[in-house]
């Protein structure tokens, strides 16, 4: 049976294009047929020997079906784009950070060879990350739904106006205020937009929903960490202004006045490839370049058999 993998590339940078060509060549040599979006492959330089050419596919929901892994060359935005295709198929994502922080990526360009070897040998484990489901509801009926790996945000449309909202948790009102918006993040998203908005960092193994008000005009407008089994709603004032629901910065749904956005843990997780057992603490320190010089903790002694 032919092994196949999907390759998603941020092809706007030349270094990514040349890296993609090398990845396709190496995996094809190992008997793994690559799928790549036709428009992205057209920007990749170099000719491949017969039999090594990737399968050109369109960016439709079935693009990842049957693939062993989705390999992503780019930053977090590229990985979030790839997640839209990999999540429905249950295919794990292996991100190689070719951007800046790349918090979701497992490898950097320096460890690309290790990542490719792991794919060839199947020597990796998969970590499941919870998602958030968001539905816009008007007059008791659903309008549209979407999902997010990082966050779903209710934001005002008119920059010069205040968005009036009421927060609800498990069918009970919590508080209301005027704001620029309200963000509902997963633990994965706690290091993204939620972090910039003043929310706490949540370790990935802690399943929870995080609510972060954005520039709220209220005394009680602090981030809230809520049970993953809870149901959250954000009601938009019927006499106020329209808003918009934005999922992972990629998918948007208009929110008319008087509508509510209902949020809950998503039914399907996003699966991420991990090459080694690395504490999240080390990832946090490395990605944010946190100052740890002077640490006097006791290191774990070596194990002697």
Half-sphere exposure of 116 (CA within 13 A, CB side): 22
Candidates 256, 37, 228, 240; CA nearest to 136 is 256
Q: How many CB atoms lie under 10 A from the CB of residue 91? A: 24
Give residue 299's pLDDT band: very low, low, confident or very high (50, 70, 90).
Answer: low
Cα–Cα distance, 150 to 131 (Å, whole number): 7
- pLDDT at position 278: 83
Q: How many CB atoms lie under 10 A from the CB of residue 285? A: 14
pLDDT at 81 over 60: yes
Structure tokens at 289: 């370049």
- pLDDT at position 123: 94
Q: What is the mean pLDDT of residues 164-192?
A: 97
pLDDT at 196 over 60: yes
Lowest mean pLDDT among 81-95, 101-115, 262-276: 101-115
Whether the domain at 3-129+271-288 and the domain at 132-265 fall into the same CATH topology = no
pLDDT at 277 over 60: yes
Q: Which residue has the tokens 């049970």?
A: 227
Fold assignment, 3-129+271-288: Rossmann fold (3.40.50)
- Please report, for the chain, the start and end positions of each structural domain, with discontinuous segments joined by +: 3-129+271-288, 132-265
Distances in Å between the alpha carbon of 203 and those of 64, 95, 187, 208? Answer: 28, 19, 6, 10
Structure tokens at 127: 């970590």
Cα–Cα distance, 23 to 133 (Å, whole number): 34
Cα–Cα distance, 150 to 163 (Å, whole number): 22
Cα–Cα distance, 209 to 263 (Å, whole number): 9
**Can you say whether the dihedral through the CA atoms of 172, 174, 180, 183 is positive or negative?**
negative
Percent pLDDT > 70 in the chain is: 94
Whether CATH 2.40.50.140 fits 132-265: no
For residue 267, count CB atoms less than 10 angstroms from its CB and return exposed for 0-12, middle for 13-18, buried for 19 or more.
exposed
Contact call for residues 37 and 16 (beta carbons, < 8 A): no
Q: What is the mean pLDDT of residues 55-82?
A: 89
Give residue 59's pLDDT band: very low, low, confident or very high (50, 70, 90).
Answer: confident
First to last CA, the chain: 41
Distances in Å between the alpha carbon of 253 and those of 127, 144, 159? Answer: 29, 7, 17
Q: Which residue has the tokens 């990514």?
A: 16
Active site residue 108: no
Out of 65, 76, 170, 180, the active site residue is: 76
pLDDT at 5 over 50: yes
Give residue 272's pLDDT band: very low, low, confident or very high (50, 70, 90).
Answer: very high
pLDDT at 305 over 50: no
pLDDT in tens, 205-223: 999 999 999 999 988 889 9
In the predicted model, what is the mean pLDDT of the chain?
A: 91
């Amino acid at each position: 049976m032919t092994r196949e993998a999907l390759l998603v590339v941020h092809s706007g940078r030349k270094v990514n294009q040349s890296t993609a060509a090398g990845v396709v060549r190496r995996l094809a040599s190992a008997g793994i047929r690559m799928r790549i979006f036709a428009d992205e492959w057209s920007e990749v330089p170099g000719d491949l020997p017969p039999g090594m050419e990737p399968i050109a596919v369109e960016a439709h929901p079935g693009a990842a079906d049957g693939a062993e892994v989705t390999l992503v060359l780019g930053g977090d935005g590229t990985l979030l784009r790839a997640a839209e295709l990999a999540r429905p198929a249950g295919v794990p994502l292996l991100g190689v950070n070719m951007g800046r922080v790349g918090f979701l990526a497992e490898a950097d360009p320096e460890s690309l060879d290790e990542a490719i070897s792991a794919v060839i040998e199947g020597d990796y484990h998969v970590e499941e990350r919870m998602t958030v489901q968001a539905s816009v509801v008007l007059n008791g009926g659903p309008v549209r739904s979407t999902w997010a790996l990082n966050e779903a945000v209710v934001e005002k449309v008119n920059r010069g106006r205040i968005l009036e909202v009421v927060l609800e948790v498990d069918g009970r009102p919590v508080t209301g205020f005027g704001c620029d918006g309200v963000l509902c993040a997963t633990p994965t998203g706690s290091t993204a937009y939620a972090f910039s908005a003043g929310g706490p960092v949540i370790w990935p193994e802690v399943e929870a929903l995080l609510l972060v008000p954005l520039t709220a005009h209220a005394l009680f407008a602090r981030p809230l960490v809520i049970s993953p089994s809870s149901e959250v709603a954000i009601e938009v004032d019927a006499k106020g202004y329209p808003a918009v629901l934005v999922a992972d910065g990629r998918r948007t749904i208009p929110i008319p006045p008087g509508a509510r956005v209902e949020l809950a843990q998503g039914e399907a997780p996003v699966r991420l490839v991990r090459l080694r057992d690395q504490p999240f603490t080390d990832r946090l320190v490395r990605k944010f370049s946190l100052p740890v010089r002077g640490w006097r903790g006791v290191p774990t002694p070596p194990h002697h058999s």
